Amino acid sequence: MIFIFFGSDFCHFFVLSDIFHLQIPYRLKKEEQLQQHYSDIVLKLNAIIDTATDGIISIDERGIMEMVNAAAAKLFDYEISELIGRNISSLMPEPDSSRHDGYIMNYLRTGERKIIGIGREVRGKRKDGSIFPLRLSISEVNLHNRRIFTGIVHDLTEQKKTEEALRKEKERTQLYLDIANTIFLVIDKDKNVTMLNRKGCEIVGYCEEEVLGKNWFDVAVIESERAHVRTLFRQMMPNAPEQLEYIEYHIYNKKNNATYLIAWHNSVIHNENGELFAIISAGVDITEHRKAEERINRLNVELEQRVEQRTEELASAVNQLLNTNNQLKKEIVEREAAENALRESEQEIRKALEREKELSELKSRFVSMASHEFRTPLSTILSSADLVEAYQKEEQQEKRIRHTGRIKSAVANLTNILNDFLSLSRFEEGKVEISPVEFDITEFCNETLDEIKVLLKSGQEIQHQNNQSGAILFLDKKMLKNILFNLLSNAIKYSGEGKMIDCNLHITEETLLITIIDQGIGIPEEEQQHLFTPFFRAHNVENIQGTGLGLNIVKRYVDLMQGDIRFESELGKGTTIYITLPLQEVNT
């Protein structure tokens, strides 16, 4: 009997041959061929192990490392020579490090497998003591007189970072939905609730966990309207002749036993196969608004009755004047005075009604605009979040990054809209005051331009000039930043790709002149007089997102800083905005 051995850290091969009937030269030649064959196998196997991107570690029954490839040594920040002969527990944090040898002994004694043959996530410890996540797969190899264990490790650090970033982004998006004063509802094709924000929970009197998975109509819609609302929603099904965007119905609150009239804007979401996936609705509580309309209608009826009554009284007075010749002149004078007073009263009432009508229209425009402007980015967030969850494979990382970018862009758009509403509210309430501070104008411009660059379209560039670099100004820095950011974001939004935008600052001893020049779509001449009106948007930007509040807010800031704003615009060629602000002296 002859044993032939080929050395390797974890590969042993034994060949048993009966040579009693073989000739010596033939036997030696055969042995050389076998030795060469198995040497080639060993070389190929070692090459595969050394070039593997995942770490490979082989240990004996005592937990001593016999083989470590280059990827594993790099992963744990060791040299290969430092790991050979060491216990594998040195690569584990506590308490696994202290318990590992016991795990092996228990398996050798009982044969009970707990981790062998099963991939799972564990923690590793690098040479510097830092802990990191990894995926571990262990296999057992039985040799002729002993057994070894081989583990394959894969670093999960970047994967965990990505998962954590997505989790935080999802929480941030949910926070934006919760702070909005609008109900956001998502129901699936079976009309079961899959998402309801905080405002919606307040209206229905449930927490989100109580309504998730339940039929929306059974939970929230009052019984008397339930069948009608179900019929309306069936119109939004795939084969319906039309989609129903706007509807109104009453919601029942179980906590305070109250009902609320909600105005809904609805959108149907389809999956990649064109099948109905979900319905997203944005609702606004119009209960008080509707009550106000009803009060106005009642007042109109009362007014008409009062006018009719007054007319009858006047007719009676005229008859009395005709019958009383002695008081004819006096009665005529009184009649004329009464009629004049009535006309004035009627004019005042008409003016009051017109003011109420304008206020009602303004509120309606606000509700409609807010619902529309919120729905588009929210639909982007929802669809992108669904797609991110669908892209699980590593090679789909680029797609995940693209859709998380869409989510961030949509969230930034929502933030800008909310900031516009907040700024307008603060101005209306008189809560905006000037707080001037000293600051370096160059650092201020660099900071503002860095923030605005993320909004630039492909090929767009902002060209900045400042005649006094490093000058120290004493102005309200926050207001000035809001002015610049608003004007530059408008220039970017209404300019095409590859267009240049100029931002020039000219400082004198007494004034700061800001000039913003774009090569955008321009403003129609007949609509330029309304440019600073709240919620106004020119007809050539109706398909571009916006609230119509930006320039109104900018003008209010400029007026508050005792400055002046003017503009020049030509349709199809661009717009130039000029702002002059007086420079204040530092208080001593």
Query: pLDDT digits over 196-227, tens only?
Result: 888 888 888 888 888 888 998 888 899 899 88
Mean pLDDT across the stretch 170-187?
A: 73
Q: Are 378 and 282 contacting, i.e. CB atoms less than 8 angstroms apart?
A: yes
- Which residue has better confidence, 357 or 274? 274
- Asked if pLDDT for residue 264 goes beyond 80, the answer is yes
**Domain end (from 424, 453, 485):** 424
What's the rounded Cα separation, in Å, for the pair 266 and 97? Answer: 57
If asked whether residues 450 and 563 sit together in one domain, one would say yes
Cβ partners under 8 Å of residue 413, min gap 6:
377, 545
Question: Which has the minimum average pLDDT: 170-184, 228-242, 258-272, 354-368?
Answer: 354-368
**pLDDT confidence of residue 507:** 93
β-sheet bridge partners, residue 500: 461
| Pairing state between β 437-440 and 472-475 | antiparallel
Calculate what percentage of the chain has a pLDDT beyond 90.
18
What's the rounded Cα separation, in Å, for the pair 497 and 492? Answer: 9
Please check whether residue 68 lies inside any domain of the structure. yes
* Total structural domains within the chain: 4
- Which secondary structure element, helix H or strand E, spans residue 343, and what is its range? helix 328-390
Cβ partners under 8 Å of residue 142, min gap 6:
none
Please check whether residue 82 lies inside any domain of the structure. yes
Q: Which of 427, 289, 300, 433 is CA-nearest to residue 362?
A: 289
If asked whether residues 381 and 445 sit together in one domain, one would say no
pTM beyond cutoff 0.75: no
**Domain end (from 424, 447, 469):** 424
**pLDDT confidence of residue 429:** 59
**Domain end (from 403, 424, 445):** 424
Domain carrying residue 399: 289-424
**pLDDT confidence of residue 360:** 57
Q: Are 267 and 260 contacting, i.e. CB atoms less than 8 angstroms apart?
A: no
Please check whether residue 1 lies inside any domain of the structure. no
What's the rounded Cα separation, in Å, for the pair 479 and 128? Answer: 49
If asked whether residues 442 and 570 sit together in one domain, one would say yes
Please check whether residue 47 lies inside any domain of the structure. no
Q: To 5 degrees, how large is the angle CA 405–CA 447–CA 461? A: 65
**pLDDT confidence of residue 19:** 35
Please check whether residue 499 lies inside any domain of the structure. yes
String of DSSP letters for 102-160: HHHHHHHHH---SSBT--EEEEEE-TTS-EEEEEEEEEEEE-SS-EEEEEEEEE-HHHH
What's the rounded Cα separation, in Å, for the pair 423 and 240? Answer: 42
Confidence band, pLDDT 50/70/90 cuts, at residue 8: very low
If asked whether residues 348 and 450 sit together in one domain, one would say no
The CA-to-CA distance between both ends of the chain, in Å, stands at 106
**pLDDT confidence of residue 387:** 64
- Give 437's Cβ-side CA count (13 Å radius): 9
Label residue 505 exposed, middle or buried (CB < 10 Å: 0-12, 13-18, 19+).
buried
Cα dihedral 432, 545, 264, 354, rounded to 10, equals 60
49, two tokens: 């192990």
503, two tokens: 């931002």
Left (φ > 0), alpha (ψ -120 to 50) or beta: where does 164 sit? alpha
Q: What CATH number corresponds to the domain at position 417?
A: 1.10.287.130
- How large is the angle between the packed helices 157-179 and 328-390, nearest 10 degrees? 170
If asked whether residues 304 and 330 sit together in one domain, one would say yes
- Asked if pLDDT for residue 132 goes beyond 90, the answer is yes
- Give 383's Cβ-side CA count (13 Å radius): 18
Q: Which of 88, 13, 80 is CA-nearest to residue 58?
A: 88
Helix H segments across 207-327? 208-211, 216-220, 223-234, 287-323
Place of tokens 């007089």: 529
Question: Which has the minimum average pLDDT: 13-17, 168-172, 216-220?
Answer: 13-17
462, two tokens: 């902002």
If asked whether residues 320 and 454 sit together in one domain, one would say no
If asked whether residues 64 and 125 sit together in one domain, one would say yes
Confidence band, pLDDT 50/70/90 cuts, at residue 188: confident
Label residue 289 exposed, middle or buried (CB < 10 Å: 0-12, 13-18, 19+).
middle
Please check whether residue 34 lies inside any domain of the structure. no
Q: To 5 degrees, how large is the angle CA 209–CA 184–CA 212? A: 20
Amino acid at 86: R
Q: Are 481 and 496 contacting, i.e. CB atoms less than 8 angstroms apart?
A: no
- Asked if pLDDT for residue 4 goes beyond 70, the answer is no
Average pLDDT of the chain is: 78
If asked whether residues 395 and 495 sit together in one domain, one would say no
If asked whether residues 437 and 376 sit together in one domain, one would say no
**pLDDT confidence of residue 15:** 33
Confidence band, pLDDT 50/70/90 cuts, at residue 254: confident
If asked whether residues 441 and 562 sit together in one domain, one would say yes
Q: What CATH number corresponds to the domain at position 244?
A: 3.30.450.20
- Which residue has better confidence, 4 or 324? 324
What's the rounded Cα separation, in Å, for the pair 479 and 444? Answer: 12
Q: What CATH number corresponds to the domain at position 515?
A: 3.30.565.10
Please check whether residue 382 lies inside any domain of the structure. yes
What's the rounded Cα separation, in Å, for the pair 438 and 87? Answer: 63
If asked whether residues 517 and 544 sit together in one domain, one would say yes
**pLDDT confidence of residue 528:** 81
546, two tokens: 């916006």
What's the rounded Cα separation, in Å, for the pair 190 and 208? Answer: 18
Put the strands of the sheet holding 147-155 in their side by side order. 65-68, 55-59, 147-155, 131-142, 120-125
What's the rounded Cα separation, in Å, for the pair 474 and 440? Answer: 9
What's the rounded Cα separation, in Å, for the pair 547 and 424? Answer: 11
What's the rounded Cα separation, in Å, for the pair 536 and 585? Answer: 36
| Pairing state between β 461-466 and 500-507 | parallel
What's the rounded Cα separation, in Å, for the pair 43 and 45? Answer: 5
Q: Are 494 and 511 contacting, i.e. CB atoms less than 8 angstroms apart?
A: no
Please check whether residue 417 lies inside any domain of the structure. yes
Tell me 393's DSSP state: S
Cβ partners under 8 Å of residue 128, min gap 6:
77
What's the rounded Cα separation, in Å, for the pair 465 and 462? Answer: 10
Confidence band, pLDDT 50/70/90 cuts, at residue 21: very low
Calculate what percentage of the chain has a pLDDT beyond 70.
73
Q: Are 542 and 488 contacting, i.e. CB atoms less than 8 angstroms apart?
A: no
- Which secondary structure element, helix H or strand E, spans residue 253, and what is its range? strand 246-253
If asked whether residues 145 and 209 sit together in one domain, one would say no
What's the rounded Cα separation, in Å, for the pair 163 and 65? Answer: 32
What's the rounded Cα separation, in Å, for the pair 64 and 70? Answer: 17
